[in-house]
Structure 1
Amino acid sequence: MQGKHRKTLIAVFTNPVSASIEWRAIEALLKATGANVIEGSGSRVRFEKDGEIATFHRPHPAKEAKRYQVRDARDFLIRTGVTP
């Protein structure tokens, strides 16, 4: 895992939940942890790792992930055994 992925991981696990994390950084982090990307229709994207699946809608037009998306990404990371 690269340094920028570690910074994103720490940001995802920081409380209170940040609303200034770019979605592409979260998506890159999930890919770096070994999650497979499954593209859906429109802005829908799913990540699968070790039998766990998380479904998201990419935020648009803003680049930043919504707080609930950061929380959902955190839950997915915890379920797959990834913590800072």
Structure 2
Amino acid sequence: MSKLEKLLIKLDRNPRNFDFKDAETVLKELGYKLDNKGKTSGSRIIFVKENSRIILHKPHPRKELLTYQIKQIRNQIKGMIDNDE
């Protein structure tokens, strides 16, 4: 089982602790590109793929995403998978 598959399974279980780095890995493997909107964006980042955008605030000083961010990523990925079928 690949790292991506393991992370997708973990994400599907609606975890309370999902690191930003893990989310970044999943989204990049699924074809999203990271855009931090230049020098003045602060911690706001956007993952973009075709017509799909996920806007997040990079957590600091903690590494874990907040619950609403995890749900946002899960919903976006599920929507993308449903559209592919």
Match of 2:44 in 1: 44
Residue pair 1:5, 1:32 contacting (<8 A) in 2 also: yes
Alignment RMSD (CA, Å): 1.6
Matched residues, percent identical? 29
The structure with higher relative contact order (CA 8 Å, sep 6+) is 1
Residue pair 1:50, 1:80 contacting (<8 A) in 2 also: no
Partner of 1:81: helix, strand, or coil?
helix
Partner of 2:81: helix, strand, or coil?
coil
- The answer for unaligned runs of 5 or more in structure 1 is none
CA offsets 1:2-32 (integer angstroms, 9 cap, x no match):
7122111111111xx3122111111111000
The TM-score normalised by the length of structure 2 is 0.82
Match of 2:2 in 1: 3
The TM-score normalised by the length of structure 1 is 0.83
Q: What one-letter code is carried by the residue in structure 2 that aligns with 1:7?
A: K
Q: Which runs of 4+ in 1 moved over 3 A?
A: none
- Higher Rg of the two aligned structures: 2
More helix by share: 2
1:54 and 2:54 aligned: yes
Match of 2:11 in 1: 12
1:35 and 2:23 aligned: no
Alpha-carbon deviation of 1:50?
2.7
Alpha-carbon deviation of 1:62?
0.5
